[in-house]
Structure 1
Amino acid sequence: MTQGIETVGLYVRDQEEALSFYVDKVGFRVHTDVRNGDYRWLTVQHPEQPSFQLGLFRPGPPVHDAATAQALNALVAKGAMPSLVLVVDDCRAACERMQKAGVEFTQEPVERYGTVDAGFRDPSGNGWKIIQARR
């Protein structure tokens, strides 16, 4: 039996805003964008990692009631969710490209632990680390 993780979801407050951010600024591409009434299944993927999808999901029906959705949105906006990690060949070059595209960094590239890392948040507040792959 083959098993594996295909999709990991992020809560976002606005799917259009998140889509624009991840595609136009971070460099991902759209994988799936389907609607069922008010529900939208929206995933993106890194162009060099086609077997993995990042889901951009809004808290709310049919999965969450209004109070739960509001609480989840507040946690995301405060940066309370765990950071995600993007591995790159050159952290400084990736940060420069993303800054030119409009990404605001919470931590400029820093050399430590034998590599270089930086941090940014998406428009909904989800935290990201960019870590340079060790050579």
Structure 2
Amino acid sequence: MDITIHHTFLPHTDPAESLAFYRDILGFEVRGDVGGGAMRWITVAPKGSDTSVVLTPPAANPGITEDERRTIAEMMAKGTYATLVLATPDLDEVFDTIQAAGAEVVQEPVDQPYGVRDCAFRDPAGNHVRFNEVK
């Protein structure tokens, strides 16, 4: 089988803040921007990548209840709802650049006991964004 990841979804709470984080801080390109206000879907991706991240309004899913929406909002606020893991050959440069831009640091660069050197931030919606160093 020939399988690739086309896109994945992350919730956002403020499309403008999320766009500023992914486009302006991480340098992702915008591949799509539809809807308006809080009901806006923004598709972003690292330049040259075949895989995209669709930033979505969590309230848009008609199949969830108000209690579930509240739970999602609480988990997003704690940074426990969604995670995106990205890779870079220069973890320290990425960390310094993102930290200097004012992003919330979850973990500074560290060599993990399981063999990965990584760091982590939270995006404006609270999503956990990790970076693995890949040489």
Q: Normalized against structure 1, the TM-score is what? A: 0.84
Provide Cα deviations, 1:22-49, integer angstroms capped at 9, x if missing partner.
1111221111001279742211001131
Q: In the alignment, what sits opposite 1:40?
A: 40
**Structure 1: segments with no counterpart, 5+ residues:** none
Describe the shift of the 1:75–1:114 C-alpha distance in structure 2 as closer, same or farther (beyond 3 A).
closer
Partner in structure 1 of residue 10 of structure 2: 10
Find the aligned partners of 1:101 and 1:123 in 2 and give their Cα distance. 12
1:60 aligns to 2:59 (yes or no): yes
Q: Corresponding residue for 1:89?
A: 89
Q: How many residues align?
A: 133
Secondary structure at the residue paired with 2:58? coil
How do 1:112-127 residues align onto structure 2 when only pairs under 5 Å count? Answer: 112=112, 113-127=114-128
Which consecutive unaligned segments of at least 5 residues does structure 2 have? none
Q: Quick one: percent identity of the two aligned structures?
A: 34
- C-alpha root-mean-square deviation of aligned residues, in Å? 2.4
SS in 1 for 2:62: coil
- Normalised TM-score (structure 2): 0.84
